[in-house]
Amino acid sequence: MRGPHNIWRLIRTGATLERTGAMRAVLDALEAPAPLRIAARVLGRPFRWLGDEGDPAMPPVVRALTALGPAYIKFGQILSTRPDVVGDDMAQELRVLQDKLPPFPIHEAKRQVTEELGVPVDDVFSYFSEPVAAASIAQVHKAVLHDSGETVAVKVLRPGVERAFQKDIDAFYFAAWMIEHLSPASRRLHPKEVIAHFEGVVSGELDLRLESAAASEFAANTADDAGFALPAVKWPWSGRRVMTMGWVEGVALGDNDALDAAGHNRVNLSERVLQLFLNHALRDGFFHADMHQGNLKVAANGDIVAYDFGIMGHIDEYTRRVYAEILFGFIQRDYKRVAEVHFEAGYVPADRDVDEFARALRAVGEPIFGMDATRISMGKLLAYLFEVTERFGMETRTELILLQRTMVVVEGVARSLDPRMNIWKVAHPVVEAYIKESIGPKAVAQDLWKTAVVMARFGPRLPKLVEAALIRQSQPETAESPSPWPARIAWTALGSCLGAVVMLLVLMAG
């Protein structure tokens, strides 16, 4: 229930941060101003005794997030990819949240596998290891299939994880409700819609059948991508709470020393991981939305291997084109065009000044160019961009939340491999190629063809629609007579179909 009882959950959150020492560590890492530090101290200390103590063996922030539960751990995973925001030391500490959390007992995992598959574990697997990786949602066991002898990875959901997530989501909804009521200006950011989006993403991650389907679709899309590989889903041994895939051998993408020892080129890897993400997002509109180091390995042949497909992002073709034009405009330093795209897409209210918005975007983009990548503070850049969006009344686009979040995570992963990487330079060839493919004459022809195909489905119905339209047009309209909208639809459908076909023939002839 999303009610005031969630105040208790939020108080416990602040108290846990204070009791574990995480509050001060976070404020130091974010270089928080004095007023915020004072407010946190005043509000946190009286309730300190209510907080969860956590595991004293862990660093403060990891200790607090682990004690608070899976939703908070997800947030920590994102921060672990942003050393430019939280600092190198804290980012390194938070890496344990990716796949090194305390596991649950193997007997519980075997019980769940038996219940889900309907057969005893020993009848399916000749070998079933202790947990080899444990994250916020599930843990992974190495196993060997009884029939084929193939080595596989078996992913099993944590017991009670659904209920734990729902408790956090309820508290987040209550916090969003409070924010909207206490700060009306924040409503343009749609806090409740953001939480709803997060809830939808998490719900998909809690059903491993959906993850298996996502992995299968992702594999089909990326089959021809050089330097990229995915493990295959073993459908007969997968279900809602259990997922079995091929075993992945390789070096963790976050272990720079091991990558260097294996002879892998980290500069090349940093560029490839960013370009792969952009290709998947722009070309396919379907991308891995949890691409932190814990979900990526480098195979012996140099391929980047991705796994854990619980969070996948999808964006429609129109939004992909808008996003690509915005990125390309920044790359080309054409801030006027970037501003125009925002207005054309309806991201900025039409009553605002496009030239003024372009100047504000220039202030965001120009510091990036000509500056050593190691000196760029993404935290400060995002803070200023937030100020710009607030000044111009831009509303949060929930369909872009996952894309933007993943972009931040992937850039963090790439920067951890090569701190001097310049995101704009690396992104340029991918975005430029997509722009040429999606906005040029070839794209126009493809759009017309798709339109003609859709309209052709109405072919058998067009004669009757036109006949009905002509009859209605010939009858005098009375108060009781129906609106002539079917006639307009019929004529529009016929005109659109013929127009699309004619345009397509003209283009083909040219």
pLDDT in tens, 230-267: 999 999 999 999 999 999 899 999 899 999 999 999 99
Phi-psi region of 302 (alpha: psi -120 to 50; beta: other; left: phi over 0): left
151/115 Cα distance (integer angstroms): 22
Q: Tokens 């993403």 label which residue? A: 201
Local structure of residue 289 (DSSP, 8 states): S
Other beta carbons within 10 angstroms of residue 389's beta carbon come to 19
pLDDT the model gives residue 133: 86
439/12 Cα distance (integer angstroms): 51
Alpha helices of 418-461 — where are they, by DSSP H?
Answer: 423-439, 441-456
Token reading at 220: 């089909």
As a dihedral over the C-alpha atoms of residue 228, residue 234, residue 235, residue 238, rounded to 10 degrees, the angle is -110
More confidently predicted of 454 and 232: 232
More confidently predicted of 72 and 297: 297
pLDDT the model gives residue 435: 80
Residue 294 has pLDDT above 90, yes or no: no
- Give the residue-averaged pLDDT of 208-232: 94
Q: What percent of the chain has a predicted confidence (pLDDT) above 70?
A: 70
Position 37 confidence tier, pLDDT thresholds 50, 70, 90: low
Position 501 confidence tier, pLDDT thresholds 50, 70, 90: very low
pLDDT the model gives residue 438: 76
Per the annotation, the verdict on 88 as an active-site residue is no
For residue 402, CA distances in Å to 200, 398, 409, 454 come to 11, 8, 10, 30
Domain ranges of the chain: 6-99, 102-135+137-221+237-245, 248-439, 442-509
Residue of 434, 152, 136 whose CA lies nearest to 292: 136
The separation between the first and the last C-alpha atoms of the chain, rounded to the nearest angstrom, is: 62
Residue 119 has pLDDT above 70, yes or no: yes
Residue 7 has pLDDT above 90, yes or no: no
- One-letter amino acid at 446 equals Q
- Do 244 and 154 contact (CB within 8 A), yes or no? yes
- Give the residue-averaged pLDDT of 10-19: 77
pLDDT tens for each residue of 321-333: 887 787 778 778 8
**Global pTM exceeds 0.95:** no
Residue 440 has pLDDT above 70, yes or no: no
151/149 Cα distance (integer angstroms): 7
Token reading at 354: 């496009």
Q: What's the chain's average pLDDT?
A: 78
pLDDT tens for each residue of 157-203: 998 888 878 777 777 777 777 667 666 665 655 667 767 766 776 77
383/5 Cα distance (integer angstroms): 32
Residue 303 has pLDDT above 90, yes or no: yes
Other beta carbons within 10 angstroms of residue 35's beta carbon come to 8
213/207 Cα distance (integer angstroms): 10
Catalytic residue among 84, 168, 290, 308: 290
pLDDT the model gives residue 40: 65
Token reading at 268: 């090349």
pLDDT the model gives residue 399: 59
pLDDT the model gives residue 160: 85
